[in-house]
Amino acid sequence: MKRMAQLLALAWTLTLAGPALAQETVNIGLLSDLSGPTSAVGVPYSEGVKDAAKYLNENGGIAGKPINLIEVDYAYNAQQALAAYKRFTSQDKIVALQGWGTQDTEALTKFVGKDQIPTLSASYSAHLTDPAKAPYNFFVAADYSTQIRGALKYFKANWKESRPPKVAFVYPDHPYGLVPIPAAKEYAKELGFEIVGDETVALNAMDAMAQMLRLQKLAPDYVWIGGTTPSAAVIMKDAQKLGFKTTFFCNIWGVDESLFKLAGDAANGAYSLQTAVVYGQKVPGMAVIEKMTGGAPKMTHYIRGFASMLVMAEGLKKAAAKGPLTGPAIKDALETLRDYDPMGLTPPISFFPNDHRPNMAVIIYKVEGGKMVETATETLERKPEWLGK
């Protein structure tokens, strides 16, 4: 009985301690996948967010108040994300949320809109950029559709032959893989590409030989890979085994530093579409990151996490300068960002009240000898008809 009383007393103190802390810090929720199916990239991303918060706190925080990141591992499960979100809003009194993947971001879209909690996530589906549908959702990378469009534009501009270039699409039959395909095909047609085929390769595929054989017969000049690194590696290795020569280009989660180990020299010559710099590039933010990490290389996902926190902090600072930190104030502040430069880590970021596309720029890297070499940055026009598609 005595122990029960002690436990109750402890629980009571903890509940009381919550709101008391909330007054002195800027509470931000951080939903991470540290143990679930996307943890391989979720862990470095969350490290980036946390290191950025640490850096910001060392440099004065938000209007003198430190950022208090409250992290919950939701294991890429919508139900757990929902519970964590409710805890953030009721116990931790967060003012903004750093989200993670498609599953949690979309399951929470309605809630963050209703509760007015500005959310920056790493799910770059184009439909989250339309404020009419997702008013409180933001992210700091060009959406998946814009990324492919940028790459297609780059390839078309560098196409030397007189015949139209041929392109094929390989993607998992999964929401994440399917989302940008209609936009990509439409734009490819508009640019004069010949679309020769579609293949699906699952995210956890062990083999893509059959698909590569079929594609080899169609002889595409360019092949889009819309998976994650393990499936991209399988595709590239099987293509190499078949002697299938083509130019692969992969989306943001399909090439990172782990691909070099998974695919070896089969990855050589592939293009990677990114929206942030890679570790070691000479930009002001990298000096900060190198200092914080003691020179230990970090994945590109880490850098995007870092940038995401920097952008959120900029919104928080702007809102704090005007008055109390509330969800609508932060949203309004974010929507006034014009070409905000997160220390060179990503192309400049702008949000508009009717358009949450951060920018229209995709950084194209080429994989050469186990390294990502920056090739070009392709910037598209901010066309209203592309918003949310």
Partner 1 sequence: MHGQCGLFFRTYAGEAQLFPSRFQKIALALFFAALCLAPWAMNKYLVSILCLINISVIGAVSLNLLTGSCGQISLGHGAFFGVGAYTAAYLANLGLPFVLALPGAGLVTALTGMVFGLPSLRLKGIYLAIATLAAQLILEYVFLHWDAVTGGSGGMALDAPSIAGFAFDTDLKMFYLTLGVAVLCVLAVSNVMRTRLGRAFVAIRDYHLSAEIVGVDLFAYKLRAFGLSSFLAGVGGALWASYTMYITPEQFGIGLSVSYLAMIIIGGLGSVIGGVFGAVFITILPECLNFLAQHAGAAFTDLSGALLAMKEGVFGLVLVLFLIFEPEGLANRWRLVKAYWKLYPFAH
Q: Which is nearer to partner 1, 36 or 344 (CB)?
A: 36
Residues 51-110 that bind partner 1 (CB under 8 A): 72-73, 75, 77-80, 82-84, 86-87, 89-91, 102-103, 106-110
How many Å apart are CA 77 and CA 68, to the nearest integer? Answer: 24
Distinct helix (H) and strand (E) counts, the chain: 13, 12
175 interacts with partner 1 by CB under 8 A: yes
CB 377 within 8 A of CB 389: no
119 interacts with partner 1 by CB under 8 A: no
- E strand or H helix at 137, and its extent? strand 137-138
Q: Shortest Cβ distance from residue 79 to partner 1 (Å)?
A: 6
- E strand or H helix at 290, and its extent? helix 284-293
Q: In this chain, which of 9, 63, 178, 287 binds partner 1, going by CB under 8 A?
A: 178
CB 202 within 8 A of CB 232: no
Q: Shortest Cβ distance from residue 54 to partner 1 (Å)?
A: 14
Q: How many residues bind partner 1 (CB under 8 A)?
A: 38
125 interacts with partner 1 by CB under 8 A: yes
Q: Which is nearer to partner 1, 8 or 83 (CB)?
A: 83
Q: Rg of the chain's alpha carbons, rounded to an integer?
A: 22
Residues 187-206 that bind partner 1 (CB under 8 A): none
Q: In this chain, which of 22, 25, 36, 341 binds partner 1, going by CB under 8 A?
A: 36
CB 237 within 8 A of CB 117: no
Q: Shortest Cβ distance from residue 120 to partner 1 (Å)?
A: 18
Kindly state the DSSP code that residue 126 receives in the 8-state scheme.
G
Kindly state the DSSP code that residue 292 receives in the 8-state scheme.
H
Query: Which amino acid is residue 250, in one-letter code?
Result: C
How many Å apart are CA 241 and CA 263, to the nearest integer? Answer: 12
Q: Shortest Cβ distance from residue 178 to partner 1 (Å)?
A: 4
311 interacts with partner 1 by CB under 8 A: no
The interface mask with partner 1, positions 223-252, x = CB under 8 A, is: ------------------------------
Q: Kindly state the tokens that stand for 96.
A: 């903004």
Q: In this chain, which of 26, 167, 170, 179 binds partner 1, going by CB under 8 A?
A: 179
260 in helix, strand or coil? helix
Q: Shortest Cβ distance from residue 278 to partner 1 (Å)?
A: 26
How many Å apart are CA 25 and CA 68, to the nearest integer? Answer: 6
66 in helix, strand or coil? coil
Positions that interact with partner 1 (CB under 8 A): 14, 34-36, 72-73, 75, 77-80, 82-84, 86-87, 89-91, 102-103, 106-111, 114, 125, 127, 133, 173-179
